[in-house]
Amino acid sequence: MRGIGIDIIEIERIGNAISRNDQFLKRIFTSKEITYFEEINYRINTIAGNFAVKEAIMKALGTGLRNFKWVDIEIHRDDLGKPSVILYKNAKKIAAEQGIEEILISISHSKDYAVAQALAI
């Protein structure tokens, strides 16, 4: 194991960010993630979960948001809805430099909060 990260976010906070800034989604999420959000009618709890897991991944990498962009981390879901991570550009390079071959993630939410955990292996 190379790192672990966890994050929790108020779902309402993400909803407010989207309402106030029409570029928020494009700055934080890849086009594939946004397409997924469209398919699920922009469920705010899912968007908040994706945001939280990106934060958890940054913590697992041990870098925070340094030397790469939000969109260098993409959350993909398989046919059953299980999330997985795809790293791009500098985030991928940083992971490789640390010997990280895989990042396992888990996302959950309640009425008010989304929480996520990331384990870098």
Region 3-120: CATH code: 3.90.470.20
Q: What is the pLDDT of residues 8-25, one digit of tens each?
A: 999 999 999 999 998 999
Answer yes or no: 59 catalytic. Answer: yes
Burial class (CB in 10 A: 0-12, 13-18, 19+), 116: buried
C-alpha closest to that of 94 among 119, 63, 118: 63
| Domain boundaries, given as residue ranges, for the chain | 3-120
Task: Select which of 54, 92, 93, 109 is catalytic.
Answer: 109
> How confident is residue 77, by pLDDT bands cut at 50, 70 and 90?
very high
Residues 6+ apart with CB under 8 A from 23: none
Q: DSSP character for 70?
A: G
Reply yes or no on whether 89 is catalytic.
no
Task: Could you list the beta-strand ranges (E) of the chain.
Answer: 3-10, 73-77, 83-87, 103-109, 113-120
pTM attached to this predicted model: 0.94
